[in-house]
A and B are shown apart, each in its own frame.
Chain A
Amino acid sequence: MIYLIFIYFCISFLGISHMALTRKNPVHGVLWLLLLFLHVAVVYLFLNAEFLGMVQVIVYAGAILVMFLFTIFFLDIKIMPKERRIAKLWEGRLVIGLSFLAVMVLVFSSISPTYKGKHTISYVESVGNTRIIGEILFNEYGLGVLLLGLILLVPMISVVILGRRKA
């Protein structure tokens, strides 16, 4: 049963991504992307990572994709422009393919069936994964969180400055 579900998600990820990339109308593309993000959220739920699933929906589907829609609406694109893109050149395809392959190899070679350390599966299940993510994020990687906040602050300030200058 669980394998059937997994196969369904694998196939649907590929199919939906294909649909999202090949739509002529960019709004339709964004809607397929929304469907893809919802599927990713459901996969997180299947992995018992309910917090990640909900954050995926809130952040990606609820905020970032709406921004995409806004951008498309404001630029008023009816049909995707047809011009030579990097993905159409064979050198470009080679670079993209090889980099994906490298990532895949790195990921698959670092998978280990057993996990040694404090955060075992039974420990996570007993405490609840929301609490554990919070503890790890703010205790062990507190500096990283602060740095990310700073990085996100820079574009916010720059957008405000750009808007001010126009007015």
Chain B
Amino acid sequence: MMDFLFIFIKTAVVLSIVLFHVAYTTYAERKIIGRAQARMGPMEVGPHGLLQPIADFIKIFFKEDIVPANAERFIFKIAPIIVLVFTLVNLSVIPFDRNFMLADLNIGLLFILAMASLSVYGIILAGWSSNSKYSFLGGIRSASQVLSYEIALGLALAGVVLQAGSLNLRDIVLSQHETVFGVYAIPQIIGFVVFVIAAFAETNRAPFDLPEAETELVAGYLTEYSAFRYALFFLGEYVAMYVMAFLCAICFLGGWTIPKFITEILPFLEKVPGIIWFAIKVYVFIFLYIWVRATLPRYRFDQLLLIGWKVLIPLGILNLLIIAFIKRLSL
């Protein structure tokens, strides 16, 4: 019983911290993009607009929930829940610190890939059940995009798995700490770049936010959604961003550890709790997401698939081969 209570409390802590971060990521995004465009961003609600996410939440919660007359009602209603649930489950296998993770799964990385492939269904079904051309095209686009980039993502992660010799996320961090550089991003620089690009496409973010390209498709699969169901999709997208940032920090940047050559020069840094290093790495990745959104224009859809199939996947295979040779020579 005590065990159960303990797990329950841990889950609640992780969920509330991540959701708090998600809320304030929307604020950070508006602020940073505002600054990038020489505006102030939200300023009205609270000091420097700090209460803006709460105001947004209250507003969206009390709006009318509209279901189109010709929609498949049941599927239309569960689609956002599918997206959100299959993104939130990923948090259960993420090691936030040496001893803080919800489930120490032997196949943590595969679990994340599996859940990522399931959350596509929410988007396809949202597009199909809305019974609208724009939604439908957005859903189809998103599905083909996510399926194509999942291969590149998997290949980039396969290099990490090969070098670490484990699918357990904690073991990946620990074996990473033993290497010379302390991060896999240096020997696997190709894989790292492929991973970052694929992560952007996988979460449907700019410059690959084709499913929601407003100049072509109104709002893609989100067109018919309003109020709380729209907010669920929005939440799902931001949680997915965080999951990708966690994955990047764990698989390529050393998770909660810092490289050994740094702690040899500055030994007092070892006293800093691991969760802080982890948070810094995650924040940098999230900042990159926002920075790219403020900087780069959107790709055309054929360019998107071209990059995925003709550039990223061959690069991913090349990375895998290089790592295999390194591993073979170091044995």
Please report the C-alpha to C-alpha distance between residue A130 and residue B158 in the assembled complex, in whole angstroms: 14
For residues 75 through 123 of chain B, which have their beta carbon under 8 Å from a beta carbon of chain A? 75, 105-107, 110-111, 113-114, 116-118, 120-121
CB of B33 closer than 8 Å to a CB of A: no
- Write out, one digit per residue, whether chain A residues 53-84 have a CB within 8 A of any chain B CB (1) or not (0): 01101100111001001100100000000000
In this complex, the interface size class of chain A, counting residues with CB under 8 Å from chain B, is: 10 to 19
CB of A15 closer than 8 Å to a CB of B: no
Contact with B117, one of A63, A69, A73 (Cβ below 8 angstroms):
A63
A-B pair count, CB < 8 Å, reads 52
- Write out, one digit per residue, whether chain B residues 140-152 have a CB within 8 A of any chain A CB (1) or not (0): 1001100100100
CB of B128 closer than 8 Å to a CB of A: yes
Please report the C-alpha to C-alpha distance between residue A94 and residue B251 in the assembled complex, in whole angstroms: 54
CB of B124 closer than 8 Å to a CB of A: yes
- Write out, one digit per residue, whether chain A residues 119-147 have a CB within 8 A of any chain B CB (1) or not (0): 00000000010100000000000000000
Residues of B in contact (CB 8 Å), total: 23
Minimum Cβ distance to chain B for residue A23 (Å): 12
CB closest chain-A residue, reference B111: A54
CB of A13 closer than 8 Å to a CB of B: no
Q: Which residues of chain A are near B167, meaning CB under 8 Å?
A: 130
- Assess whether B114 is in contact with A70, with CB atoms less than 8 Å apart: no
- Write out, one digit per residue, whether chain B residues 15-31 have a CB within 8 A of any chain A CB (1) or not (0): 00000000000000000
- Assess whether B120 is in contact with A51, with CB atoms less than 8 Å apart: no
Minimum Cβ distance to chain A for residue B295 (Å): 32
- Assess whether B117 is in contact with A61, with CB atoms less than 8 Å apart: yes
Q: Which residues of chain A are near B117, meaning CB under 8 Å?
A: 57-58, 61-63, 66
CB of A27 closer than 8 Å to a CB of B: yes
Please report the C-alpha to C-alpha distance between residue A85 and residue B289 in the assembled complex, in whole angstroms: 53
Minimum Cβ distance to chain B for residue A40 (Å): 13
CB closest chain-B residue, reference A38: B118
Knowing A27-B128, A54-B114, A58-B113, the reply to whether A130 touches B107 (Cβ < 8 A) is yes
Minimum Cβ distance to chain A for residue B202 (Å): 12
- Assess whether B110 is in contact with A54, with CB atoms less than 8 Å apart: yes
Q: Which residues of chain B are near A66, meaning CB under 8 Å?
A: 117, 120-121, 124, 143, 147
For residues 159 through 180 of chain B, which have their beta carbon under 8 Å from a beta carbon of chain A? 167
Q: Which residues of chain A are near B113, meaning CB under 8 Å?
A: 54, 58
Minimum Cβ distance to chain A for residue B124 (Å): 6
Please report the C-alpha to C-alpha distance between residue A70 and residue B118 in the assembled complex, in whole angstroms: 15
CB closest chain-A residue, reference B125: A31
- Assess whether B110 is in contact with A51, with CB atoms less than 8 Å apart: yes
Contact with B118, one of A27, A51, A61 (Cβ below 8 angstroms):
A61
Q: Which residues of chain B are near A55, meaning CB under 8 Å?
A: 110
Please report the C-alpha to C-alpha distance between residue A148 and residue B120 in the assembled complex, in whole angstroms: 28
Please report the C-alpha to C-alpha distance between residue A101 and residue B272 in the assembled complex, in whole angstroms: 65
**A27, A55, A58, A73 — which one has the most chain B CB atoms within 10 A of its CB?**
A58
Please report the C-alpha to C-alpha distance between residue A57 and residue B140 in the assembled complex, in whole angstroms: 20
Please report the C-alpha to C-alpha distance between residue A34 and residue B86 in the assembled complex, in whole angstroms: 14
Q: Which residues of chain B are near A58, meaning CB under 8 Å?
A: 110, 113-114, 117
Please report the C-alpha to C-alpha distance between residue A70 and residue B128 in the assembled complex, in whole angstroms: 11
CB closest chain-B residue, reference A56: B114
- Assess whether B110 is in contact with A73, with CB atoms less than 8 Å apart: no
Please report the C-alpha to C-alpha distance between residue A130 and residue B150 in the assembled complex, in whole angstroms: 21
Q: Which residues of chain A are near B75, meaning CB under 8 Å?
A: 31
Please report the C-alpha to C-alpha distance between residue A130 and residue B125 in the assembled complex, in whole angstroms: 33
Please report the C-alpha to C-alpha distance between residue A34 and residue B140 in the assembled complex, in whole angstroms: 18
**B107, B113, B124, B125 — which one has the most chain A CB atoms within 10 A of its CB?**
B107
CB<8 Å pairs between A and B, sample of 29: A31-B125, A34-B121, A50-B105, A50-B106, A51-B107, A51-B110, A54-B110, A54-B111, A54-B113, A54-B114, A55-B110, A57-B117, A58-B113, A61-B114, A61-B118, A62-B114, A62-B150, A63-B117, A63-B147, A66-B117, A66-B121, A66-B147, A69-B124, A70-B140, A73-B136, A73-B140, A128-B106, A130-B106, A130-B107
Query: A50-B105, A73-B128, A73-B140 provided; 8 other pairs, C-beta below 8 A?
Result: A51-B110, A54-B110, A58-B114, A61-B114, A62-B118, A62-B120, A69-B124, A130-B167
Residues of B within 8 A of A (CB): 75, 105-107, 110-111, 113-114, 116-118, 120-121, 124-125, 128, 136, 140, 143-144, 147, 150, 167
